[in-house]
Structure 1
Amino acid sequence: MHKPDIKGRLAAWTIELSQFYIEYKPRTAIKAQFLSDFVAECQFKSKTHKPEDDQSRLWLLFVDGSSTSNSGGAGVILISPGGFKIQQALKFGFSATNNVAEYEALIAGLKLASDLEAKVIDIFGDSQLVSKQISGEFKTHNERMARYLTRTQELLSKFPSWKMSNVDREENQWANSLAKLASSNLPTNLSPTYVDILETPSIDEVSINQIQARLDWRQPFLETTPRSATVETPFRLAYGVDAVIPVEISLTSPRVDVFDPAISLEGLRLHNDLLEETREEARMRMIAQQEKIARYFNKKVKPKDFKVNDLVLRDSATSQPTVSGKFKPAWEGPYRISRLVSAGSYELAHLDGKPIKNAWNGIHLKNFYQ
């Protein structure tokens, strides 16, 4: 419990209920609820690339490639089921044709989606040749294109469900803009777009076969919450409780059969008291996903190393996350490194020697030059 008012209410209830002998008993398994969840989640249908019940786990991938006489690039936009958008611009360090650029964009997008553990994905591109070759309608008569097709099929095999669609350039305008931007002389710190440089073609990379862990057979039966960045439904974050799904009305479930308005109202009040903490937990999960994405793009970045007595500036967004505004400075300080806690973690102190509470990660610090 992080909020003082929540602690106060819980303490008041503890005093009120202390006169009663209350024994807590965990809720036992309810077979009817299990069956309703099973029917809702496991609608067995014919094996296709994208079954309807996978909509809650659906990722969207938009790709486009661009090639000029001087350089080439690719644009990738990946959208998570929760609506979180990731933009990547890829600049080529080698000469590439338009078809090669389209394949490189698709391969980069599939790598990104695979690293973020996407399972169900819809792919959109404006290259009819690439789309038809992947579907098998067109054949590859060029050895280089055949290698790109094989590499793409290897990456697609990692996704249990996928679908690729050919769209007009107007519908793929944003990915096309990123591709053209990457093929020009753009800065490498373009925010909020991740920029990377591909020195060699993807088909020249050495692939390593990894051992895939076998999933527990019970997992599909226990997954009753849609995947998203917050692991919570928007309805729960708005109202504090989950909505009753239609299958519970038609097949009935214990919470429908034993519904009592008075008890339900009391439960709603209790959930509303804890709603702020539920939202805070959802926010922390979203931050964790953003950090996971940042680690993927920053895996080639060398960590910062500071020494004791070095002067540094601290990221104000990390030290004061609740303070915002266009006039808020991005960095604050300077401070002095007082002690090395561990690799990449430091303790800070003011210039007069007064220590600062907590240790700080090196990614939130930068050198201060007098």
Structure 2
Amino acid sequence: MKYKIEWSYKRKGLSAVTFYSEWVDGEEVIELGEEIENSGKAAELFFYDELGTSWTLKEMKKLTVEVEEEPHDITVYFDGGYNEGTKMAGLGAVIYYKEGKKKYRVRANEQFSDLNSNNEAEYAAFYFACNLLEELGVQHMVCEFKGDSQVVLKQLEGEWPCYEEEFNRWLDRIEEKLKGMGIEARYSPILRKDNKEADKLASQALEGKMIHSKMQII
């Protein structure tokens, strides 16, 4: 999670001037806040997270300790593949996140039936990734979702309309899942070559090679 600092700068005989920082990581934002407070020039000092919640310095110190023990700084890659002959879909997802001072990667895939197209497989893959986040215990976090399906990401973002009933059902399921977990989603379309991990997992699922792993990364 990243935070912004808002502080009112005291001026002798004049009204205070309010300043805002850029987005800063949790540990660094505490250090900056302490420096501002110790300067004696801050009339007021507040911190804002990416969900718009405000915190005092004391509250921030307690919050960052709690957040550091939960999955945070989460990036999700997803991809779906579809075999016209077998009517089977392969779903792949890769999740990068921090927990404490350590970084982790989860790789998982799943085989899925009763879908009708590659686009529908992409929606199913996104929903599969949401279920993995739920398994990790992710709650009330900002998560960045990356995939090479602009259709899925743009429709979830609300930029593109969706006219297909089967896609709308997936959109409703995904939005309900994200809302229930308190996740604020950020959507980032990427090129297919930048989504190789999730793509490979989806292909392996179609081949019947099932994977579900978690590892610490450097």
TM-score computed with the length of structure 1 as normaliser: 0.37
Rg comparison, structure with higher value: 1
Instruction: Rate the CA distance shift 1:36–1:107 in 2: closer, same or farther, 3 A.
Output: same
The Cα shift of 1:88 comes to 0.7
Instruction: Rate the CA distance shift 1:147–1:83 in 2: closer, same or farther, 3 A.
Output: same
The Cα shift of 1:194 comes to 1.7
1:80 maps onto 2:97 in alignment: yes
Q: Which has the higher contact order (CA 8 A, sep 6+)?
A: 2
1:116 — aligned with what? 136
In structure 1, what is the Cα distance between the partners aligned to 2:50 and 2:125?
31
In structure 2, what is the Cα distance between the partners aligned to 1:114 and 1:120?
14
2:5 — aligned with what? none
2:212 — aligned with what? 194
**Structure 1 segments (4+ residues) deviating >3 Å:** 35-39, 45-48
1:254 — aligned with what? none
Instruction: Rate the CA distance shift 1:185–1:113 in 2: closer, same or farther, 3 A.
Output: closer
Greater strand fraction, Structure 1 or Structure 2: 2
In structure 2, what is the Cα distance between the partners aligned to 1:142 and 1:125?
20
Q: Find the partner of 1:66 among 47, 68, 81.
A: 81
1:8 — aligned with what? none
1:43 — aligned with what? 47
Q: Find the partner of 2:175 among 153, 158, 161.
A: 153
Q: In the TM superposition, what are the counterparts of 1:14-29 in structure 2 within 5 Å?
A: none
Mapped contact 2:77–2:94 kept (Cα < 8 A): yes
Q: In the TM superposition, what are the counterparts of 1:115-194 in structure 2 within 5 Å?
A: 115-118=135-138, 119-157=141-179, 158-186=181-209, 188=210, 193-194=211-212
Q: Which amino acid aligns with 1:43?
A: F
Long gaps (5+) in structure 2: 1-30, 38-44, 53-63
The Cα shift of 1:143 comes to 1.2
Instruction: Rate the CA distance shift 1:43–1:91 in 2: closer, same or farther, 3 A.
Output: same
Long gaps (5+) in structure 1: 1-32, 49-53, 196-228, 235-370
Mapped contact 2:91–2:125 kept (Cα < 8 A): yes
The Cα shift of 1:42 comes to 5.7
Q: Which amino acid aligns with 1:120?
A: V
Instruction: Rate the CA distance shift 1:83–1:47 in 2: closer, same or farther, 3 A.
Output: closer
- The DSSP-based 3-state class of the residue aligned with 2:192 is coil
The size of the alignment, in residue pairs, is 153
Q: In the TM superposition, what are the counterparts of 1:310-329 in structure 2 within 5 Å?
A: none
Q: Which amino acid aligns with 1:161?
A: E
The Cα shift of 1:154 comes to 1.0
Q: Which amino acid aligns with 1:98?
A: N
Q: In the TM superposition, what are the counterparts of 1:150-299 in structure 2 within 5 Å?
A: 150-157=172-179, 158-186=181-209, 188=210, 193-194=211-212
Summarize deviations over 1:173-204 as a string: whole Å, max 9, x none.
Answer: 11001111111233x4xxxx329xxxxxxxxx
